[in-house]
Amino acid sequence: MFVAASTECWPDKELEEAIDLLADLEFTAIEIAIHESGKIKPSELLKDMDRAIQLLRYTHRLDVSGYSIELASTGKQHYEDFKEFSRMAKATKVVNITVPSAEHGTPFNEEVEHLQQLVNIGESEGVRVSVRSQLGCLSDDPDTLMVLCNNVDGLGITLDPSVYICGSGKGKSLDKILKFVCNTHLRDSRPDAFQVSVGQGEVDYGKLVTQLEREKYDRALTVHMKPIEGLDHRVELRKLRRLLETLL
């Protein structure tokens, strides 16, 4: 296992600046978020994939632990776009892509078919696809998530423990889904607050690391914290990095 940080820790910064800030905080690996709602938009990268590959390789010697991809396209175009990003991941030697979960109300079979298509595309390029734990989505219940993984051959999980502290699945055991975990998103949380100052919440990082070690997990512990008004964000990021490093 190793500690990484998401570029979403600095949601208002361009990629280069976010990488510089995370490198200054002594992170050695990053997850790059490519979201239509963010600073690094997939629609813009798709206009020139050769240039996009060069851009994404500029990481100040930081390793890229994975990509988080959220596309605005739908239908057939969605899968064609995802194919391009899977090729980009292969070209940049990244093996993990995180994708969003469908919202509640989406037919289960429809989500299974969608995720299976993404997994098949990813596997054709040597990429592992993981679905995010996400509030308000099918993945916010660990039991549903387990059934998804059992029905989608090759699907992994980007585990966010905060979702199971704050969401409808709070209190449920995560033991059955740990074997599917390929990535993590970490911050500190309480039942009444998705993100709080590190040390003020209920995330048991020590227990999580022990559980993941038991499953032979060897991927990233990804710090995934957005700035909170009144808190020094650099201090919070450094605090969680150091805490996680002491557990490894």
Token pair in block for residue 136: 């308000």
Q: In the chain, how many domains are there?
A: 1
In Å, the largest CA–CA distance within the chain is 46
For the whole model, what pTM was predicted? Answer: 0.94
Distance CA 126, CA 134 (A): 25
Which CATH number characterizes residue 146's domain? 3.20.20.150
- Each residue's pLDDT tens digit in the chain (248 positions)? 999 999 999 999 999 899 999 999 999 999 999 999 988 999 999 999 888 888 888 776 789 999 999 999 999 999 999 999 999 999 999 999 999 999 999 999 999 999 999 999 999 999 999 999 999 999 999 999 999 999 999 999 999 999 999 988 888 889 999 999 999 999 999 999 999 999 999 999 999 999 999 999 999 999 999 999 999 999 999 999 999 999 99
pLDDT at 56: 85
Residue-wise DSSP of 79-141: HHHHHHHHHHHHHTT--EEEEPPPBTTS-HHHHHHHHHHHHHHHHHTT-EEEEEP-TTBGGGS
Distance CA 79, CA 71 (A): 10
Token pair in block for residue 215: 């499953």
102: containing domain: 2-246
